[in-house]
Every structure is written in C-alpha cells, then in structure tokens.
Amino acid sequence: MKIRAGYEIVYDCPQPTPIILMLSVHPSRLADLQTLDRMRLDAPIPVNTYYDGFGNFCHVIRAPRGRLTMSADFIVHDNGEPDVVAPEAEQHALEDLPVDALVYLLGSRYCETDRLSDLAWSLFGQLPKGWPLVQAICDYVHDRIAFDYQHASPTRTAFDAFAEQRGVCRDFAHLAVTLCRCMNIPARYCTGYLGDIGVPPAESPMDFSAWFEAYLGGQWHTFDARHNQPRVGRILMARGRDATDVAIATSFGPCTLAGFKVVTEEVTSTATPAK
C-alpha cells in the first residue's frame, strides 16, 4: 500500500521568533519513504536539524516577522496490515524492565500519575496483568471521554480529561498513558498521521493523530484509546513522555497559527501524486 501524506501550516509572527518543529517522519519509517519527506519554507531562512533525546527528528528555525508557510508532500509505503494484537503479551516486573523504559513509568507534564493512581488501582487492580489490562484501560478511556474537536485545549491534562469527559485524540492518549503508568506498565505518547483507510471517513477535517505504545512481552505495542480498534496506515512522526515532547511546533515568542491542513490518504490511480 502507498500512502500520500503531508501538511501546509501557516504562522503569523509579530517579530522574529525561534521555533522547534517536529514535522518529519520518524527515523524508523525512513526506509519506507517512496519520495522525499522534505519540509518546504516560503522564506529563505536557515534550518538546523537534529535528533532529540527520544530519537525524534527535529528542526530549529527563526521564523521571520510576518507570515511563514511550511509544507511537505510525500509518498510512504505501508504494509497495509492493521495494528498488531497480541493478547498473550505479558507485563514485566518493574525490576525486569529495560532501563530506557523506566522513564515511561513516571509522571510528566500532561500525565499526572500522582492524581490518578488511586483511581487506577480501584478500577484495574484486580484485573489480569499484561495485554488484557492495557485493553481494559483503553476500553475505559474510550467510554469515558467523548471526542469533541470544538473543545480542543492545549493545556488539558490527563486528569482534566478524566474530569471533563471530553477531548481530542491527545486527551485519550494522555489519560490512557497515565493509567498504564499507574499500573506499572511503561507507556509512551505517539503522534503522526492516521488517515481514514479502511474505515468510514470522519466528518472533521484531517489532522495529525495521537496514540500510545505500551511495553509488554519484551517490545512496544501500539494502542489507540480513541478509536479502540486496530487501524491501518499509521505513519509515526515522534514519540515521547507526552505531548510536550512531541509538539509539532514549540515557539519561543508570540506566534499565531493562521492556517492548518493535513493530508493522509491511500494512493489510488486517481489520487494526486506527491510533488
């Protein structure tokens, strides 16, 4: 399967503003690119690129005063298989976890394990460990939160999402990640592309998507509390503790989003080719 993906994002800056961008396909998917995933800027400004501490590909720019448009359009190969389901995957004792997974047990900016630990143990403490436990958490979050694109909030935490019972995909992921960590399961936040491939198209505009990965049976497994079913065509961009680590743009000064468009679609004979 071939998937066309890309974006066009526009910012207005009242003054020159440094921005860290995390818009590239994750290094783990580079071998799948059929065409170049190249960020285009409509202003001749230098771009410093680097890998962050989580292995994500990042860009640093100083956006000029005025309007800046950034875009990309590329083709990626995908195996066309839905997310792997491994109900036999076991949960590890904490002392047996690889050391690089331990950070994903700790509370973070949007994942307040201290505020949700008692709730988690009261809800899930008697359930079988491993995959069934993570799936039970996904079921709970999926039923607890109503998806509401009109009430997206960049400051909503996992506890806020639990209390308000509404949110967008990042809120589903944050709450599920937090509950997993409370139950001693390493969980990390993921962001990327997820088109309506093999499912009815959503009524809301296409956007980047958030899901999470849990460490079970010696490897990381994909879970999605919002959709709560295996999906086809995920294209990972970045992983981290929560949305703080993988924000598509982190500005260090005043900056206003003036335009936003994301494309993720299966390539067919009638699809518009990537440039």
* pLDDT (0 to 100) of residue 204: 80
CATH 2.60.40.2250 positions along the chain are 2-80+248-266
Q: How far apart are CA 53 and CA 63, in angstroms?
A: 24
CATH 3.10.620.30 positions along the chain are 94-230
> Is residue 131 within 8 Å of residue 222, measured between CB atoms?
no
* pLDDT (0 to 100) of residue 205: 84
* pLDDT (0 to 100) of residue 203: 80
- What confidence tens digit (pLDDT) does each residue in 163-178 have? 999 999 999 999 999 9
The DSSP annotation for 195-258 comes to --SSSPPPSSPP--EEEEEEEETTEEEEE-TTT-S--S--EEEEEESSTTTT-SEEESS--EEE
> Is residue 17 within 8 Å of residue 255, measured between CB atoms?
yes
- What residues in the chain have per-residue pLDDT under 50? 273-275
The DSSP annotation for 119-184 comes to HHHHHHTTSPSSHHHHHHHHHHHHHH-EE-GGG--TT--HHHHHHH-EE-HHHHHHHHHHHHHHTT
Q: Which two tokens stand for residue 94?
A: 């904490």
In this structure, whether the domain defined by 2-80+248-266 belongs to CATH 2.60.40.2250 is answered with yes
- What confidence tens digit (pLDDT) does each residue in 172-202 have? 999 999 999 999 999 999 999 999 999 998 8
Q: How far apart are CA 179 and CA 89, in angstroms?
A: 18
Q: How far apart are CA 123 and CA 141, in angstroms?
A: 12
Assigned CATH topology for domain 94-230: C8orf32 fold (3.10.620)
> Is residue 183 within 8 Å of residue 137, measured between CB atoms?
yes
* pLDDT (0 to 100) of residue 48: 96
Residue whose entry in the numeric block shows the structure tokens 């170049």: 36
Q: How far apart are CA 1 and CA 47, in angstroms?
A: 32
* pLDDT (0 to 100) of residue 196: 94
